[in-house]
A and B are shown apart, each in its own frame.
Chain A
């Protein structure tokens, strides 16, 4: 079984501040990390390798510095790492990004693709399912548990919804997005930290993959950012003054909308 884990290097958003003068994000000095859901996906792949045997390959699209995230994955125990990087990829939205990553996965070949559910810098959760569509393989998102049944040669996945859990079976190639609650990712181990230095992080560029240049980068992205604002109109709802009856109704509505009751 060959597993490709898609990872993204993201700024640690809990440390991001807004510049009050320019109204832009202050990214300077904000540390970069492996996106938490993706880190769990790496661990899941390594667990499958330990239990059932697999080759674990990590793939990241990003600038040169994303190599650090891939080196960390190697130090966790991944076998191979590839950085998908090219100026032609810049400005890609989720659809264009998924087109590029899917082309790289086709080139590398994979039985199972694992992604994190979503990245903390964008929170879209779109790239995983879009890659699955480009690859023409089934997807399972929001995975809360993944196991491999050797007898039926199928992956058994617990798929989390707000109000229920499905146990799903998938045979053959597939893409699964995992929740960070699935497991606590392991630390890098000393042996692998030393060894990763010897490993190459492969570079994949535009020239190495089969994509139509019209489908990638800024011009290949159907969505465009029209404007940005730092006004926070929904983060915290303003404090309401209500009578007890209306207050109770507002609470019940809010809990129902979130499928909590």
Chain B
């Protein structure tokens, strides 16, 4: 019978990804309810020594495949390794991070194992019999659906990064590390890597605000923009401003976000001391992730923020520069 809760522990360049540790945290909660063990799958090349970290964060057993075929992420070798282990050990659950790796590998694997998969879960619960209740947003977050996979094992899900809580690491925790060997079918690999380039991390704070991945944007609540520029450099982003700072001449018009400025859609928009007049919101509300820091709790910017913090913007910028 299928048992144990498994976590696919994603690593990149040998670094365990935060989402893997978060999943070990939730796996531990689920396993406590059913009396199962938490299993971690660790795939990569020269990554063996990371197994202890996974135990510290909640794994009872770590299945390690250390093989040069797994040095770069490619779907087929990763799918072959995971499928072989899943068939051999029959876990009842396998969790993946909903990253560009997890969302590539998990569906391939679900079809190979002929089982169900639920994408982008934001909540996981189970009952004593080990049935998993997987809750996910649908229709752009307008609706939440709880999905079950009653008759197939393993139950599989990808889980959004940043939603689950990690455990406090305990390096005295005992666990088992099992080194696994995979029987490769290289005829199925099909895809070869010509090159792999990490994103350009150069600092260009005066680059076009429409092209920046991260925008550090300042409003009336920020008196001195020099620390904001320092922050923009540290996060490899660019600086932008609301109309208030442009009107007083602190920032150039080319940096203005909003109806009379530019419309931006960065991966992260950090709004410091910006109240969020409707004209400003029109220029940035499509950003993928919005952080707002403002002393006024009722500022409209908080209505569009994914992370809203009531605090003094200048002081937060100062602390960010210290941290980074």
Q: Does B126 contact A (CB under 8 A)?
A: no
CA–CA, A97 and B163, complex, Å:
29
* B138 with A123: CB separation less than 8 A: yes
* B315 with A174: CB separation less than 8 A: no
13 residue pairs bridging A and B, Cβ less than 8 Å apart: A122-B138, A124-B120, A160-B100, A164-B12, A222-B116, A228-B143, A228-B146, A229-B144, A238-B308, A242-B309, A242-B310, A255-B268, A257-B19
CA–CA, A70 and B138, complex, Å:
25
Pick from A126, A245, A247, A249: contact of B107, CB below 8 A: A126
Q: Does B248 contact A (CB under 8 A)?
A: no
Q: Does B193 contact A (CB under 8 A)?
A: yes
Interface string of B52-94 (1 = CB under 8 A from A): 0000000000000000000011111000000000000000000
Chain A: minimal CB distance from B282 (Å): 15
Chain A: minimal CB distance from B213 (Å): 7
* A228 with B144: CB separation less than 8 A: yes
Known pairs A125-B119, A258-B162 / 20 extra A-B pairs, C-beta < 8 Å = A93-B116, A123-B138, A130-B108, A130-B110, A140-B75, A156-B194, A165-B197, A223-B148, A225-B145, A227-B146, A229-B144, A235-B137, A239-B310, A240-B308, A241-B297, A242-B311, A248-B316, A254-B307, A255-B268, A258-B268
* B143 with A25: CB separation less than 8 A: yes
Chain A: minimal CB distance from B46 (Å): 18
Decide if the interface of chain B is mainly helix, strand, loop or mixed. Answer: mixed
CA–CA, A247 and B293, complex, Å:
9
Closest chain A residue to B150, Cβ basis: A224
CA–CA, A141 and B104, complex, Å:
6
For chain A residues 133-189, which have a beta carbon within 8 Å of chain B?
133-134, 136-142, 156, 160-172, 174
Q: Number of B residues contacting the other chain (C-beta, 8 Å)?
A: 91
Q: Does A207 contact B (CB under 8 A)?
A: no
Chain A: minimal CB distance from B64 (Å): 23
* A250 with B309: CB separation less than 8 A: yes
Q: Does A194 contact B (CB under 8 A)?
A: no
Stretch of A12-20, A41-49, A60-68, A82-90 at the chain-chain interface: A12-20
Chain A: interface residue count, which band?
A: 35 or more
* A252 with B116: CB separation less than 8 A: no
* B191 with A168: CB separation less than 8 A: yes
Pick from B122, B302, B324: contact of A252, CB below 8 A: B324
Closest chain B residue to A24, Cβ basis: B143
| Residues in A whose Cβ lies below 8 Å from that of B259 | none
Q: Does A190 contact B (CB under 8 A)?
A: no
Interface residues, chain B, with chain A CB atoms under 8 Å away: 12, 18-19, 72-76, 99-101, 103-104, 106-108, 110-112, 114-120, 122-123, 133, 137-152, 160-163, 188-199, 213-214, 235-236, 267-268, 270, 289, 291, 293, 297, 302-312, 315-316, 318-320, 322-324
Known contacts A137-B190, A162-B99, A247-B316; A230 and B104 CB within 8 A of each other: no
* B189 with A138: CB separation less than 8 A: yes
| Residues in A whose Cβ lies below 8 Å from that of B106 | 126
| Residues in B whose Cβ lies below 8 Å from that of A138 | 75-76, 188-191
CA–CA, A192 and B193, complex, Å:
38
| Residues in B whose Cβ lies below 8 Å from that of A257 | 18-19, 161-162
* A245 with B193: CB separation less than 8 A: no
CA–CA, A133 and B310, complex, Å:
48
Decide if the interface of chain A is mainly helix, strand, loop or mixed. Answer: mixed
* B140 with A13: CB separation less than 8 A: yes
| Residues in B whose Cβ lies below 8 Å from that of A208 | none
* A243 with B142: CB separation less than 8 A: no
* B150 with A126: CB separation less than 8 A: no
Chain A: minimal CB distance from B316 (Å): 5
Known contacts A95-B110, A162-B100, A223-B147; A126 and B139 CB within 8 A of each other: no
CA–CA, A128 and B319, complex, Å:
44
| Residues in B whose Cβ lies below 8 Å from that of A231 | 144
| Residues in B whose Cβ lies below 8 Å from that of A235 | 137, 141
* B190 with A172: CB separation less than 8 A: yes
Q: Does A21 contact B (CB under 8 A)?
A: no
* B117 with A94: CB separation less than 8 A: yes
CA–CA, A249 and B324, complex, Å:
10
* A170 with B191: CB separation less than 8 A: yes
Known contacts A222-B149, A222-B152; A141 and B308 CB within 8 A of each other: no
Pick from A163, A167, A171: contact of B199, CB below 8 A: A163
Closest chain A residue to B292, Cβ basis: A239
| Residues in A whose Cβ lies below 8 Å from that of B75 | 129, 138-141
Pick from A171, A233, A241, A249: contact of B310, CB below 8 A: A241
* A121 with B139: CB separation less than 8 A: yes
CA–CA, A156 and B193, complex, Å:
10
* B142 with A230: CB separation less than 8 A: yes
CA–CA, A4 and B76, complex, Å:
22
